[in-house]
Amino acid sequence: MGTKIVIMGVSGCGKSSLAHALAQAEGCALIEGDDFHSPSSREKMSNGIALTDEDRAGWLAVLTAEIQKHPDGVVLTCSALKMAYRERLRQGSPGLKFAFLDIAKSEAQRRVIARAASHFFNAALVDNQFATLESPVGEPGVIRLDATESLDALQAQLSQWLHRAKP
């Protein structure tokens, strides 16, 4: 694939599912951003405490380094809610692309509650995620996807977009 892309959006939008499908379809590496949160950040989120910019700074630095380990292409899951977070990732990987999974707050809330037994993220934080989100629509190298579409449709749209975007 050669492309480096972040699957981004609020919690519950389907980042992990789409990233897995895309990485498999394109035959490239997958980095699950949640795997790189510090134990203290995981504990905060599981207790319904939102992460601060300071909490996220080290995490973003680690993710940037992880992306750089995959010069042949990689799919990363990362909420990347603020433009500053996306810029931090872009600085370490020029040309980095982003797929924004856009979802309504009520649907995100429903999904987060449904996975509560298997994920550390507390549903009480969904409101904070939406309050923090700075839409990437209009930024270079960004595609907006409707998170309620089927996984197959999302993966196909994204693969098509990535192949069209190649120089």
State the Cα–Cα distance between residues 113 and 133, nearest whole angstrom.
20
How high is the pLDDT of residue 4?
Answer: 94
* 63: nearest Cα among 11, 103, 113, 98: 98
Instruction: Kindly report the CATH number assigned to the domain that includes residue 39.
Output: 3.40.50.300
Count Cα atoms within 13 angstroms, Cβ side, for 90.
15
What whole-number percentage of the chain has pLDDT above 70? 92
Global pTM? 0.88
Alpha helices (H) in 27-104, listed in sequence order: 39-46, 53-68, 83-92
63-76 tens-digit pLDDT: 999 999 998 999 99
Domain region containing 113: 4-165
Split into its structural domains, the chain has a count of: 1
Q: For 70-108, what is each residue's pLDDT tens digit? A: 989 999 999 999 999 999 999 989 899 999 999 998 888
